[in-house]
Amino acid sequence: MPSELPKPSLLRHFAAMFYDSMLVIAVVAVVNAAALGVQVKLLGSASHELHPQLAQVLVLGSVGGFFIVFWMKVGQTLGMQAWRIRLVRFDGGEPRFTDGLLRCLAATVSAACLGMGYLWRLVDRRGRYWHDYLSRTELQLMAKDEASADTGPPP
């Protein structure tokens, strides 16, 4: 049962989040630059800025897409791989698209409430965040041998 498996420490989770934030910033920059290039090419616009609502949609789509794709494909983002953290459903299954989407939305709520959804983990008897409960997914710490088996040696 996943709830019986060890949980990563809050510090380890925040370290993985820091790694992922660096990657997400790069993804958002590339997506927005590409959209601006398309806009200039198609519209011949002399303005070198995206419409604000389009920029917001691209940022949200890029960030959500980054996490959801990684969680669906391997259950881990690159930052999570570096820190041996995996996302699993409460029933032990692999995360699905709807699980990832719900977790992204719920994590936003956890952070928007002055981080209380993240700090909740410190008082929860199961060591879960608000977004764990809302998405019915949770993080687990992988054993060192399990983590190296997943990534494997470079070719």
Identify whether 155 is part of a domain: no
Count, residues in the chain: 155
* Choice between 26 and 47, residue whose per-residue pLDDT is larger: 26
Q: What is the tally of structural domains in the chain?
A: 1
- Indicate the SS3 state at residue 141: strand
Q: Is residue 84 within 8 Å of 147, Cβ to Cβ?
A: yes
- What confidence score (pLDDT) does residue 45 get? 65
- Give the model's confidence band at 151: pLDDT under 50 very low, under 70 low, under 90 confident, else very high: low
Identify whether 113 is part of a domain: yes
- Lowest-confidence range among 22-26, 43-47, 63-67, 116-120? 43-47
Identify whether 131 is part of a domain: yes
Identify whether 154 is part of a domain: no
Q: What is the b/e burial string over 82-112, where b = at least 16 CB atoms within 10 angstroms of the residue's CB?
A: ebbbbbbbbeeeebeeebbbbbbebbeebee
The residue-averaged pLDDT of 58-74 equals 96
Identify whether 40 is part of a domain: yes
* Domain carrying residue 23: 2-149
**Token pair in block for residue 42:** 């198609």
Identify whether 122 is part of a domain: yes
